Chains A and B, each alone.
Chain A
Amino acid sequence: MAKHTLIAYVEDVPGVLNRIASLFRRRNFNIDSLTVGRTEQPGVSRLTVVVDATEAGARIVEANLYKLVNVLRVDDLTHKPSLFRELGLVKVKVTNQTRAEVLQLTDVFRARVVDVDEATLVIEVTGTPEKIGKFEMVLRPYGIVEIVRTGAVAMARGHELLSAAPPLVRTTADDHHPDHAGVSMSV
């Protein structure tokens, strides 16, 4: 199992997010994160979905996304040179003694302080989900009051268009190990 990042372009119609969430639940796919936002094209939203899946599993997720009538295109960025970014806001406890240390760490992570009061700092950090995870880890000893993360967004590098081709179905699925746990035992 590995993380797969899929980008889906969807028609911006009521209920479309519900359809996608329902698909993931119904097919028992494991979502790590799901973000959605507008695109340069009116009426089209862009979704970044990170799923935990085998290679064959990711192809099945992709094919299932395509099957939704409102899904316009799906790209798998997992094996393409691409950028992954997530934004986090961390509210951390500080005292006169620790404030300087926290500010230093903020610098190291190229994060920004966006709010200050006598007992806390709110720090905005962007980067890969791993980097945000690490930032959270180093701040934990100071006492994290609250943390919010957006989930990853992703974009391929370079100027070449990703293909809008229909899902490529792999046929040599060596990592596909169905077992009969999935067999329906009902009459």
Chain B
Amino acid sequence: MKLTGAEIIWECLQKEGVNVVFGYPGGAILPTYDAMTKYPKIHHVLVRHEQGATHMADGYARASGKVGVAIATSGPGATNMVTGIATAMMDSSPIVCITGQVGSKAIGTDAFQETDVTGVTLPITKHNYLVTKPGDIARAIREAFYIASSGRPGPVLIDITKDAQQMTTEFDWAAAAPRLPGYRPSYHAPASEFARAAELINSAKRPLIFVGQGVVKSGTTAEVLKLAKTAGIPITTTLLGIGAIPASSEFNLGMMGMHGESWVNEAIQQADLLIALGMRFDDRVTGNLKTYALNAKKIHVDIDPTEINKNVPVDVALIGDLREVLSLIQPQVKKAEHKEWWADINARRGDSAVRDIQNLPDSGHLYAAHVINDIWRLTQKRDTIVVTDVGQHQMWEAQYFRHEKPRSLITSGGLGTMGFALPAAIGAKFACPDKDVWVVVGDGGFQMTSCELATAEQEGIKVNVAIINNAFLGMVRQWQEFFYDKRYAATPMTGPNFVKLAEAYRLTGFLCDKRSDVKATVEKTLAAKGTVVIDFVVEKEDTVFPMVPAGADLDKMIRRPKQDVMLESGSDKDWEMPSPALPNVFAEAKAEAKALNGRGKVAQKPAKAPARKVTKTSRR
């Protein structure tokens, strides 16, 4: 069958099972857009910025486990994709990006809208292709889908010259099967390693299981729980492992790391065995590597050999797919309960601030944690995906929204890309139209990609956008509070009237600034037909606790205030700095003025942003 290169692109996408693509046209990709009209089975979502297309493809991939597809033109179209590709790379998301390139004869001449896109994206893709002949398109696409989705998944980019799209060639799907002699997506650890791993597990007294995104990707929730039950081992998850183990499971202690639970981080430092499943010991997880889990032997299960010994030296490495590794290890694991270890952990858990914040009396302040916890409570009976952006709200969501299912939290972990949430949520909604999709986003990050509201409106889809509006780049402000003597340089931030913004996009907007209104607002949102934007005007200078300062020892956390802040008015809020205390000379009046500047309209502020007392107490 003779087809143009452009037609071959669509044929291949169809054969790969693609039914939705996210893209934006331009000169160098026009032949492909023109051919699209002949392939009505594939739905094209017109985005408002190519970064949005990549995040949508990413959100689609994370929600469904399938490959997401994004399309853009050459030059600026392709470079706009860079942030989204890097985001997908860091979190191992399978996406395929197709970009148009100038004609093959013009390559290297600085032609109009020419960029060396394969060069630019080389370090942020799992692999990429420059295709200059129509006959090479099919194989490149088939290989791209295979590489993106196999082994450790990741983004693959195919840059296709305009003439390759225009020229005609024989299309032979079968002949275009991947030929990748150097590509090894899977490994199999030797039996001796399994024996050593089993021995370590069976002789451990204080073991811990680490669950990372690999468990989500391999779909091994049941297998991990079985292992935990058999050997009586507590589980903790990374940010990207949230949902892989139900929050309600008695084995799930919660999240580890920088903003993880204090009892989890303490348990890690005391454990004698860490069984790391599909997680990569990110620096947000380990803190200071020199003092990290020194009492523990480590077993690392990962599909990617380059992760072994990268940050943390391990004793046993089981390289391979989690499903296979777990099925081989399970029969060798002996029954155990580890009662003392559990009692130890539970004791530490007991003295930490309680996470059940439902019954706290209303102090007249609206806290982000309350908003998020209430959304969780009110949506528990529904099938919900939450997509978070990056910042304080992201951490509060991780702490206060209890995820019961894998793929129910989508967030940018490794790159921490602000602006990710709204477009990724649109992608997730296309993957799971029957689920509710919530966006939990800061006022800062929302303004980075809010243009995609138009995409949601044009597509007629419903995502529920909860803006956690603290009038600050909150997470950066928190670092300034702790580590830069509260000099709030460039973090107070204004925004538009978000309700009016929603309405300008012909969507629904609500404002909520009281705890007593949260329930009604969420209910109205769920009942509304299209996309809803809620402006939750929350406490401005609220803080995410606990926190391990970057590079500090994992158990040297800045702890939650003894008395829960949400019980108190802001001015009573104390927090403890681990010793040695960091300097904190605070010119109260000045910072307060700055903080108010940020809000702009001082008159509408719910409560005065108060200065905080800082108690410098040393722990242990």
Question: Which residues between 145 and 187 of chain A lie within 8 Å of chain B, taking CB atoms?
Answer: 166-167, 169-173, 176, 178-180, 182-185, 187
Q: Which of A14, A22, A66, A171 interacts with B123 by CB under 8 Å? A: A22
Q: How many residues belonging to B are interface residues under a CB distance threshold of 8 Å? A: 39
The answer to whether A11 touches B181, judged by C-beta atoms less than 8 angstroms apart, is yes
Q: Nearest chain A CB to B312's CB is how many angstroms away?
A: 7
Q: Which of B122, B290, B313, B319 interacts with A56 by CB under 8 Å? A: B313
| Distance of A32 Cα from B54 Cα, bound (Å) | 38
The answer to whether B283 touches A171, judged by C-beta atoms less than 8 angstroms apart, is no
Q: Which of A18, A59, A67, A71 interacts with B309 by CB under 8 Å? A: A59
**Neighbouring B residues of A178 by C-beta, 8 Å:** 289-290, 311-313
| Distance of A172 Cα from B314 Cα, bound (Å) | 7
Question: Which residues between 119 and 171 of chain B lie within 8 Å of chain A, taking CB atoms?
Answer: 119, 122-123, 126-127, 130, 147
The answer to whether B283 touches A184, judged by C-beta atoms less than 8 angstroms apart, is yes
Q: Mark B287-315, 1 if CB is under 8 A from A, else 0.
A: 11110000000000000111011111111
| B550 (CB) vs chain A CBs: closest residue | A185
The answer to whether B130 touches A64, judged by C-beta atoms less than 8 angstroms apart, is no
| Distance of A73 Cα from B287 Cα, bound (Å) | 35
| B126 (CB) vs chain A CBs: closest residue | A69
Question: Which of B182-190, B223-231, B247-255 lies at the binding interface?
Answer: B182-190
A19 proximal to B (CB < 8 A): yes
The answer to whether A171 touches B182, judged by C-beta atoms less than 8 angstroms apart, is no
**Neighbouring A residues of B316 by C-beta, 8 Å:** 171
| A21 (CB) vs chain B CBs: closest residue | B122
| B127 (CB) vs chain A CBs: closest residue | A69
| A59 (CB) vs chain B CBs: closest residue | B309
Interface centre among B123, B304, B313 (most CB of A within 10 A): B313
| Distance of A125 Cα from B57 Cα, bound (Å) | 56
| Distance of A78 Cα from B127 Cα, bound (Å) | 29
A87 proximal to B (CB < 8 A): no
B450 proximal to A (CB < 8 A): no
**Neighbouring A residues of B314 by C-beta, 8 Å:** 171
A10 proximal to B (CB < 8 A): yes
Q: Mark B172-187, 1 if CB is under 8 A from A, else 0.
A: 0000000011111001
Q: Nearest chain A CB to B222's CB is how many angstroms away?
A: 28
B416 proximal to A (CB < 8 A): yes
**Neighbouring A residues of B495 by C-beta, 8 Å:** none
Q: Mark B105-124, 1 if CB is under 8 A from A, else 0.
A: 00000000000001100110
Interface centre among A66, A71, A178 (most CB of B within 10 A): A178
| A173 (CB) vs chain B CBs: closest residue | B313
**Neighbouring B residues of A26 by C-beta, 8 Å:** 123
| A184 (CB) vs chain B CBs: closest residue | B283
Given A14-B130, A18-B119, A178-B312, A187 and B479 contact (CB-CB distance below 8 Å): yes
A68 proximal to B (CB < 8 A): yes
A70 proximal to B (CB < 8 A): yes
B53 proximal to A (CB < 8 A): no
Q: Which of A14, A19, A59 interacts with B122 by CB under 8 Å? A: A19
**Neighbouring A residues of B183 by C-beta, 8 Å:** 69
| A167 (CB) vs chain B CBs: closest residue | B305
The answer to whether B551 touches A169, judged by C-beta atoms less than 8 angstroms apart, is no
B611 proximal to A (CB < 8 A): no
Interface centre among A71, A167, A187 (most CB of B within 10 A): A187
The answer to whether A56 touches B184, judged by C-beta atoms less than 8 angstroms apart, is no
Q: Mark B304-332, 1 if CB is under 8 A from A, else 0.
A: 11101111111111010000000000000
**Neighbouring A residues of B147 by C-beta, 8 Å:** 69
Interface centre among B187, B308, B312 (most CB of A within 10 A): B308
Given A67-B306, A171-B314, A187-B416, A180 and B290 contact (CB-CB distance below 8 Å): yes
Q: Nearest chain B CB to A99's CB is how many angstroms away?
A: 48
| Distance of A169 Cα from B119 Cα, bound (Å) | 30
The answer to whether A187 touches B475, judged by C-beta atoms less than 8 angstroms apart, is yes
**Neighbouring A residues of B119 by C-beta, 8 Å:** 18
A42 proximal to B (CB < 8 A): no
| Distance of A69 Cα from B140 Cα, bound (Å) | 13
Q: Which of A22, A56, A69, A73 interacts with B180 by CB under 8 Å? A: A69
The answer to whether A63 touches B306, judged by C-beta atoms less than 8 angstroms apart, is yes
Q: Which of A10, A15, A64 interacts with B118 by CB under 8 Å? A: A15
The answer to whether B290 touches A179, judged by C-beta atoms less than 8 angstroms apart, is yes
Given A171-B317, A183-B289, A187-B416, A64 and B182 contact (CB-CB distance below 8 Å): no
**Neighbouring B residues of A15 by C-beta, 8 Å:** 118, 122, 130
| Distance of A3 Cα from B306 Cα, bound (Å) | 20
Interface centre among B147, B310, B319 (most CB of A within 10 A): B310
Q: Mark A49-92, 1 if CB is under 8 A from B, else 0.
A: 00000001001100110111111110000000000000000000
**Neighbouring A residues of B289 by C-beta, 8 Å:** 178-180, 182-183
**Neighbouring A residues of B122 by C-beta, 8 Å:** 15, 18-19, 22
**Neighbouring A residues of B475 by C-beta, 8 Å:** 187
| Distance of A156 Cα from B289 Cα, bound (Å) | 38
Q: Nearest chain B CB to A40's CB is how many angstroms away?
A: 16
| B152 (CB) vs chain A CBs: closest residue | A67
**Neighbouring B residues of A70 by C-beta, 8 Å:** 182
Q: Which of A11, A14, A183, A187 interacts with B476 by CB under 8 Å? A: A187
The answer to whether A183 touches B550, judged by C-beta atoms less than 8 angstroms apart, is yes
Q: Nearest chain B CB to A64's CB is how many angstroms away?
A: 5
Given A22-B122, A166-B305, A185-B550, A176 and B182 contact (CB-CB distance below 8 Å): no
Q: Mark B479-507, 1 if CB is under 8 A from A, else 0.
A: 10000000000000000000000000000
The answer to whether A60 touches B306, judged by C-beta atoms less than 8 angstroms apart, is yes
Question: Which residues between 194 and 252 of chain B lie within 8 Å of chain A, taking CB atoms?
Answer: none
Q: Which of A166, A171, A185 interacts with B551 by CB under 8 Å? A: A185
Q: Nearest chain A CB to B388's CB is how many angstroms away?
A: 15
**Neighbouring B residues of A187 by C-beta, 8 Å:** 416, 475-476, 479
| Distance of A69 Cα from B319 Cα, bound (Å) | 18
**Neighbouring A residues of B283 by C-beta, 8 Å:** 180, 182-184
Interface centre among A22, A63, A64, A171 (most CB of B within 10 A): A171
**Neighbouring B residues of A69 by C-beta, 8 Å:** 126-127, 147, 180, 182-183
| Distance of A14 Cα from B119 Cα, bound (Å) | 12
Q: Nearest chain B CB to A119's CB is how many angstroms away?
A: 42
The answer to whether A72 touches B181, judged by C-beta atoms less than 8 angstroms apart, is yes
Q: Nearest chain B CB to A85's CB is how many angstroms away?
A: 26
| Distance of A187 Cα from B287 Cα, bound (Å) | 14
Interface centre among B123, B182, B184, B416 (most CB of A within 10 A): B182
**Neighbouring B residues of A72 by C-beta, 8 Å:** 181-182
13 A-B contacts, Cβ less than 8 Å apart?
A: A11-B182, A60-B310, A69-B182, A72-B181, A171-B315, A171-B317, A172-B313, A176-B309, A178-B313, A180-B289, A180-B290, A182-B283, A187-B479
Residues in A lying within 8 Å of B, measured CB to CB: 10-11, 14-15, 18-19, 22, 26, 56, 59-60, 63-64, 66-73, 166-167, 169-173, 176, 178-180, 182-185, 187
Apart from A178-B311, A179-B289, A184-B283, list 13 A-B contacts with CB within 8 A: A18-B122, A22-B123, A26-B123, A59-B309, A63-B305, A63-B306, A64-B306, A167-B305, A169-B317, A179-B290, A183-B283, A183-B287, A183-B551
Q: Which 4 A-B pairs have the closest CB atoms?
A: A63-B305, A173-B313, A72-B182, A183-B283
